[in-house]
Chains A and B, each alone.
Chain A
């Protein structure tokens, strides 16, 4: 398909386990974002990749969270030693260009991965 895809769509894990969430952005989009959406909350920015530049990790809530983007395309968000408060929907978005001056560019969102930590 032509849109952003994420897998899995749902993930249930036990507290203390590691999880990996995958995002396939739209082909050719240089910018990729991860957000977390908790129940009743807005989107919380996690991390931003732009081309080959170093990622902006300023939104990662703890060192248990990390993300990679291989070959400027697919991205994986890893959460180590999951906690119950990590339960949320994790959304990935891509855009044709990055958040440069003013940041005026449309983000295309995937459907999200719903993570439940028991």
Chain B
């Protein structure tokens, strides 16, 4: 199965909260990331959380980490149409050669915000 799993689509109304969920596999991952990809653009780091934290808040963004269940979520408060994008969850995972930690990405969740 996939190393990092996310649902593929989420649709919300403008002004509502959005919650994007992610599960990962490597319990040794010390950093977990959320990236945003707008149409035709590269990925941009939104936020990250260190594995010894349960929660991190940054303005409208709240990241929750359940390390026991290997579950990560991103909550966007007061979602705006400009938040429409693909959101990628990523974990730092040891490469197959064992030489380095490589960010490993999920397939991305397409967030669609309706006016």
A-to-B contact residues, CB < 8 Å: 4, 33, 35, 40-43, 45, 48, 50, 56-59, 91, 93, 98-104, 106-112
B94 to chain A, nearest CB (A): 9
| Interface range for B | 20 to 34
B-to-A contact residues, CB < 8 Å: 2, 4, 8, 30-31, 35, 40-45, 48, 50, 88, 92, 95-97, 99-108
A102 near B45: Cβ-Cβ < 8 Å: no
In the complex, chain B residues whose CB is within 8 Å of the CB of A41: 107
In the complex, chain B residues whose CB is within 8 Å of the CB of A106: 45, 48
B48 near A99: Cβ-Cβ < 8 Å: no
Q: A59-B102, A104-B31, A109-B35 are in contact. List 15 more A-B contacts (CB 8 A).
A: A4-B42, A42-B88, A43-B43, A50-B100, A56-B99, A56-B100, A58-B95, A99-B103, A101-B30, A101-B101, A102-B92, A102-B101, A103-B30, A107-B45, A107-B103
B88 near A111: Cβ-Cβ < 8 Å: no
In the complex, chain A residues whose CB is within 8 Å of the CB of B96: 58-59
Please provide the 5 A-B residue pairs with the shortest distance between their CB atoms, ordered closest to farther.
Answer: A103-B101, A109-B42, A103-B92, A102-B30, A99-B101
In the complex, chain B residues whose CB is within 8 Å of the CB of A104: 30-31, 48, 50, 92
Kindly state the separation between the CA atoms of A32 and B97 in the bound complex, as whole angstroms: 17
In the complex, chain B residues whose CB is within 8 Å of the CB of A99: 92, 95, 100-103
A98 to chain B, nearest CB (A): 6
Kindly state the separation between the CA atoms of A110 and B88 in the bound complex, as whole angstroms: 16
* Chain A, Cβ-Cβ closest to B100: A99
